[in-house]
A and B are shown apart, each in its own frame.
Chain A
Amino acid sequence: MFKRFVSLQWKSFFRSSSFGKSLIIKLVMLFFGLYMLSAMVGLGIALYFILKKIFPDQAPIWMLSQYLLYWVLAELLFRYFMQKLPVMDIKPMLSMPIKKSSIAHYILGRSGFSVYNLTALFLFVPFCIVLLYHGYPVVNVGPWLVSMFALVLCINYVNFLVNKNDKAFAILAGTLLILFALDYFQWVPVREFFGPIFHGLYQYPIMVIVPIALALATYYINFRYLKNRLFLDASLKTKSKEAKTSDLAWTKRFGDMAPFLQLDLKMIWRNKRTRAQVFISLLFVFYGLIFYGQDQFASMMPMLAFLGIFMTGIFLTNFGQFIPAWDSSYYSMMMSQNIPLRKYLESKATLISVSVVVMFLLTIPYVYFGWDALAINFACALYNLGVNIPVILFFGSFNKKRIELDKSAIGNMQGTSATQFLIILPVLGLPILIFTVFYYLISLEAAVIILSLIGIIGFALKNRLLDAITEKYRTKKYGMIAGFKEKEG
């Protein structure tokens, strides 16, 4: 029986629509996959040396133990978004002569081999090898590795239990933030409290039974839960959340654009992929932290320009590059309804403008690293507003690939074509180039002023540009409608 399940799984993987995609996208995905993999392995190897360097007088494994709690919580939080128990696939099997318990074992067992669990393996195995190389005893390292994997499995199964519940997310996020705050401001020594517990897993090899027992227990709870709910109307039903009708009356002040703005806001909020993009965009505010603090980057002005364009324009690129494919599932309605195309585009531009302003406001605290950062970010925000918004809308007219809104965001290449890769050049590359040229030719001030000026000029020409873009959309209309109708295999 299990053999048959495995062969089904194999087929579903290799026959999935993502394998039928164009060669370029396949290559890009392969590249990213390999990149992630090697990054994980690299991090696993480097982890020992990093810890050794930061805390020279502490054993790396001890330091790692102190942070494991955060890893567990963060991983849970991450998976809450990303990983769902794939129950839908077994619908056709319910009416076949297969025991429910083996179906339940199958889905749960299969989830144990998910990519999420394997990445952890790719991190911890190299780390352990380095440990062994440095003379740490096998009797400790071996069981510790097993413990870590058992913990990963625990996270895996706990996630399925809490996933059905929105409160669980709030609690998780809350706990993580509170613990981190307590720790960071040194109110309560969270790390010192949990560190020894995790370190115990290393120190006393026999303790490995605890995570294993936990993993088995969570597996069993999941199994019990699932087995009793393998009915079409119970766990298998894709739950439809209770919908609230909202009128977003405050958008009325935008006049003619209001209906479209409302529509976009609802679209972003009510669909997985768009919602995830908002969260991801917001997270990228912290991207600067990686660079501003480091001396070798702080003086590299082109790098700061990149950060400015990137951070204030992250939503612009993420969301904007797929306009109007976001509306692809009902595009023929939009095109035959009483909708002026111009208003439609204007509302998109407004939405993105707001995002640029918000992202800029969020990056203001980077002034801590110097006024240069603020000035550059301001110029970049202006450039994004004036130039990049029309540019991205213009490139949108080349979009012909359908997007299913309710598919999850991560690794979702739907709607991606060569256009998306081409966009990066003008949107990211051009402003950085302009900035760099004027920075080296004249001065930082000149570069900032030039960038701002170009932005302001673009902003002043906004109406003219939008008119031209509208015309472009009009001529491309038929191709878009036809393209958006094609569903991927």
Chain B
Amino acid sequence: MITAQNLTKKYGSQIVLNLENLEIPKGQSFGLVGNNGAGKTTFFSLLLDLIQPTTGHVENQGIQVNKSEDWKPHTSAFIDETFLIGYLTPEEYFYFIGDLRGRNKADVDQLLASFEDFFHGEILGQKKYLRDLSKGNQKKAGIVASFIGNPEVVILDEPFANLDPTTQIRLKAIIKDLAERDRATILISSHDLLHVTEVCERIVVLNKGEIVKDIQTSEETLKELETFFGG
């Protein structure tokens, strides 16, 4: 369970995020949509204690993230390419993350094997450093790395951007699977309304830092979102 109370973030006089009360129950797949500057990445950064809130705080399974580091073992994230270590090969990167999360090589290999389709032969055994991979392939590596060590909370910022169509479809299946089988709480932000309505049970629309819609996903959700953003 993730809760944000009276959470605001101001830069100067500009309010970039203002959440009165947001609760994300354990095991929910949660989608965050909004135009550029709506505060999606700001919220995720606050959740990961990468920036300081102006007021309020975030709790991750009862742990206040800016007070204790105990949320780290059960939380993992891929926000952008700054989460990758450019001078490692993808394998080394996965093993490194594995080391941090108490998984040995065999565990990591086993997990990676299940993502063979997703990698499409472009990640493993390429004899390339991560910095030399294409943006899409970097993203694939980063996303899979965030699944290492059975995290209970997975945070993915714009996971569909830069991916080719085949990979986008595979990623949707993976995320759904993760939510259903592992009961992981998954937080996704996206500009792609179709994808996000497909994988998320609940969708929150942010506009200029405020929650303007909070919807349990249904048949009509996509229409509703399209009308909102189109109008």
Q: Which one of A23-31, A134-142, A259-267 contacts B? A: A259-267
Whether A247 pairs with B52 at a CB distance below 8 angstroms is: no
Q: Does B172 count as interface, using CB distance less than 8 angstroms?
A: no
List the B residue with the shortest CB-CB distance to A327.
Answer: B85
Q: Which one of A56-64, A171-179, A294-302, A331-339 contacts B? A: A331-339
Whether B127 pairs with A244 at a CB distance below 8 angstroms is: yes
Whether B72 pairs with A270 at a CB distance below 8 angstroms is: no
Collect the chain A residues with CB atoms within 8 Å of residue B96's CB.
259, 262-263
Q: Does B1 count as interface, using CB distance less than 8 angstroms?
A: no
Whether B132 pairs with A240 at a CB distance below 8 angstroms is: yes
Q: Which one of A34-42, A125-133, A196-204, A478-486 contacts B? A: A478-486
Collect the chain B residues with CB atoms within 8 Å of residue A405's CB.
86-87
Q: Does B131 count as interface, using CB distance less than 8 angstroms?
A: yes
Given contacts A240-B132, A335-B50, A482-B51, contact A247 B95 (CB under 8 A): yes
Given contacts A271-B87, A405-B87, contact A332 B129 (CB under 8 A): no
Q: Report the minimal beta-carbon distance from A237 to chain B, rounded to whole angstroms.
A: 11
Q: Which one of B31-39, B97-105, B110-118, B162-170 contacts A? A: B97-105
Whether A333 pairs with B86 at a CB distance below 8 angstroms is: no
Whether A240 pairs with B129 at a CB distance below 8 angstroms is: yes
List the B residue with the shortest CB-CB distance to A337.
Answer: B100
Most buried by B among A329, A330, A481, A485: A330
Whether B99 pairs with A258 at a CB distance below 8 angstroms is: yes
Q: How far is A240 from B51 in the complex, measured between Cα atoms in Å?
A: 35
Q: How far is A332 from B100 in the complex, measured between Cα atoms in Å?
A: 15
Q: Does A166 count as interface, using CB distance less than 8 angstroms?
A: no
Whether A259 pairs with B100 at a CB distance below 8 angstroms is: yes
Q: Does A233 count as interface, using CB distance less than 8 angstroms?
A: no
Q: Report the minimal beta-carbon distance from A335 to chain B, rounded to whole angstroms.
A: 6
Choice from A259, A266, A333, A340 contacting B87 with Cβ under 8 Å: A266
Q: Does B213 count as interface, using CB distance less than 8 angstroms?
A: no
Q: Does B175 count as interface, using CB distance less than 8 angstroms?
A: no
Q: Considering the complex, which residues of chain B in the window 121-143 have a beta carbon less than 8 Å from any beta carbon of chain A? A: 126-129, 131-132
Given contacts A262-B96, A338-B100, contact A333 B52 (CB under 8 A): no
Q: Which one of B13-21, B76-84, B176-184, B219-227 contacts A? A: B76-84
Q: Does A95 count as interface, using CB distance less than 8 angstroms?
A: no
Choice from B73, B88, B132 contacting A338 with Cβ under 8 Å: B73
Q: Does B158 count as interface, using CB distance less than 8 angstroms?
A: no
Most buried by B among A247, A270, A336, A485: A336
Collect the chain A residues with CB atoms within 8 Å of residue B200's CB.
none
Q: Does A243 count as interface, using CB distance less than 8 angstroms?
A: yes
Most buried by B among A267, A337, A481, A485: A337
A262-B96, A332-B50, A338-B101 known; 17 other A-B pairs, CB under 8 Å? Answer: A242-B127, A243-B126, A243-B132, A246-B92, A259-B96, A259-B100, A263-B88, A270-B87, A270-B129, A332-B83, A336-B48, A336-B77, A337-B76, A478-B51, A481-B50, A482-B51, A485-B82
6 example contacts (A-B, Cβ-Cβ < 8 A) are as follows: A247-B92, A247-B95, A329-B82, A336-B72, A405-B87, A482-B51
Residues in A lying within 8 Å of B, measured CB to CB: 240, 242-247, 258-259, 262-263, 266-267, 270-271, 329-333, 335-340, 405-406, 478, 481-482, 485
